[in-house]
Structure 1
Amino acid sequence: MDTLVFLGTGDAMGVPRVYCNCNICTEARTDGDNIRLRSSVLIDNGEDVLVIDCGPDWRRQMEAEGIRSMRRLLVTHAHFDHIGGLPEWADACRWMGYKGELYAPAEIILVIQRQYPWLTSHIEMIPCDDGVELDGWQISTWKVNHGKNGYSYAFRLEKAGYAWVYCPDSISLGPEETGRMGGADLLVLGTSFYYEAAELSTRSVYDMTEAAELLQVVKPRRAVYTHMSHDVDVNEAYILPENVTLARTGLRLPLGTAEA
């Protein structure tokens, strides 16, 4: 059975913030429960890995997991916290002597190529708008609202009767966007705050109170919240739906019908 591993669970700035002395950033510098690198996950099939998103903490994440070779990557969108590690991955591909495979919607690939035009020497960029199969996973993707930050994409992965959705950057999703989340065994959802008081038009990611309402609509069997800011304390006893877990770096979940 494949395993989902959380490489990073932080928002765009990560935790701790260099400038911040709040209780959560202070704890992250000492005990470390709240240390959060930029959001990324991998699927481990026992022989190879498939990674989703490659932010500026990519090298540190690979070192933490003891991974020396990464050949394939899915990208949700072209913001720095999701693609900032691409130059390092390209350099790794160059030294290892193979061409990496990057899968993303075509419009995301165009943005990446504008930002890093030299990457195609070492990374093949493959559009996946119409879906793709990797390691037996049937993967589909669709655009989701990212609030003031424009748009992102979500991925739904299905294999052997098990379905899960990865959607780290979204807010205020409508029926067309949530329809493909329905019936998932697992939803990995970005929630930057427990409650974010800022005016909605200035925001870009769900908070946990809004996410609870979303879960009532899409009804996943289990949900894990990721992409958390320094407002979130993973040791706090927040009021959350019973089927929700706050992700921590290194969290491992089996991806299959035997998942507990």
Structure 2
Amino acid sequence: MDTLVFLGTGDAMGVPRVYCDCETCSESRNGGLNARLRSSVLIDNGSDGLVIDCGPDWRGQMEEQGIRHMRRLLVTHAHFDHIGGLPEWADACRWMGYRGQLYAPAEVIPVIQRQYPWLENQLDMIPCDEGITLDGWAIETWRVCHGKNGYSYAYRLEKEGYAWVYCPDSISLGEEETRRMHNADLLVLGTSFYYEAAELSTRSVYDMTEAAELLKEVKPHRAIYTHMSHDVDLRKDYILPEHVTLARTGMRVSLANAAE
């Protein structure tokens, strides 16, 4: 049975913020619940596994989980908090003596190549726009609105009657962008704030109040919120829709129907 492991649950800056002494950052600084590395997940299959996104905290995340090698990666988009760990991964592949396989939408690959032109010495970069199958998971990807930051991509993965969606960076999604989210067993969605008061045109990720409206539309059986800023304090009792959980670092979730 495959298990989803939350390697990181933070937004682009992580928690704590270096400059901040708010209650959330202070609690996280002392090893509390709110310590959040940049968002990334692992599909643990008891073997090689599959990771989605490789931010600047990648090395620490691997050490925390006791993982010594990573052969395959899906990338949602080419922002630093999602690809900043690629040089370290490539170097690990070099020392381990194999080529890593990086899967990403076709328009994302040239951005990565421009930022890190030497990565192709160790990594194969493979477009996945037409769909791929890895470890029995049939994987679809599509572009989603990332607000003022342009576009990101979401993934829908299906295997043996179980479907889940990973969408860490999105906001104000339209009908076509949400079509493949409908009726998923699990939706993992980025929500940087509980309520973000900033003007919509300046924002890039859903807040939890907006996410609640999205869930009414797409109706996942379960949702987990990730990509959370220091605005979110896991010690608080937020008003959330039924079957919604806030992700915690190291949290493990079965990727199978309960009857299995």
Both structures adopt the same fold (TM-score exceeding 0.5): yes
Partner Cα distance (1:259, 1:208) in 2: 30
Partner of 1:69: 69
Q: Deviations over 1:104-131 (max 9, x none)?
A: 0010011000100000000000000000
CA–CA separation in structure 2 for the residues paired with 1:204 and 1:129: 23
SS at 1:118 equivalent: helix
State the match for 2:208 in structure 1.
208
In 2, Cα distance between equivalents of 1:64 and 1:36: 13
Task: Letter of the 2:75 partner, please give it.
Answer: V
Structure 2 SS opposite 1:179: helix
Deviations 1:182-206 (A, max 9, x none): 0100000000000000000000000
Measured in 2, the distance between the counterparts of 1:45 and 1:88 equals 23
Partner of 2:187: 187
Aligned length: 260
Displacement, 1:259?
7.3
> Structure 1, unaligned stretches of length 5 or more?
none
Superimposed CA distance per residue, residues 12-44 of structure 1 (whole angstroms, 9 cap, x where no aligned partner): 000000000001000001241100000000001
Partner of 1:199: 199
Counterparts of 1:67-146 in structure 2 under 5 Å? 67-146=67-146
CA-CA distance at 1:157 after TM superposition: 0.1
* Greater CA drift, 94-103 or 250-259: 250-259
Segments of 5+ residues of structure 2 without an aligned counterpart are: none
Q: Which runs of 4+ in 1 moved over 2 A?
A: none
Corresponding position of 1:169: 169
Cα displacement (A) at 1:242: 1.2
Counterpart Cα distance in 2 of 1:132 and 1:245: 29
Taking the aligned partners of 2:56 and 2:184, their CA distance within structure 1 comes to 30
SS at match of 1:106: coil
Who is 2:55 aligned against?
A: 55
> Amino acid of the residue matched to residue 148 of structure 2?
K
Residue 46 of structure 1: how far off its partner (Å): 1.1
Query: 1:136-189 CA deviation, whole Å, 9 max, x = no partner?
Result: 000000000000000000000000000000000000000000011001000000
Give the letter for the 2:104 counterpart. Answer: A
> 1: distance between equivalents of 2:32 and 2:74?
28
Asked if 2 retains the 8 angstrom alpha-carbon contact of 1:253 and 1:259, the reply is no
Q: Equivalents in 2 of 1:103, 1:227: separation in Å?
A: 21
- SS of corresponding position for 1:177: helix
CA distance in 2 between counterparts of 1:206 and 1:50 reads 26
Mapped partners of 2:259, 2:175: distance in 1? 28
Amino acid at match of 1:4: L
Amino acid at match of 2:245: T
Structure 2: distance between partners of 1:112 and 1:61? 21
Letter in 2 for 1:14: G
Contact 1:168 1:226 in 2 (8 A): yes
Which residue identity is paired with 1:216? K
Name the residue aligned to 2:17: 17
RMSD: 0.9
**SS of residue matched to 1:195:** coil
Distance 1:207 1:160 in 2: 32
| Equivalent residue letter for 1:193 | F
Q: Deviation digits for residues 210-229 of structure 1, max 9, x if unmatched?
A: 00000000000000000000
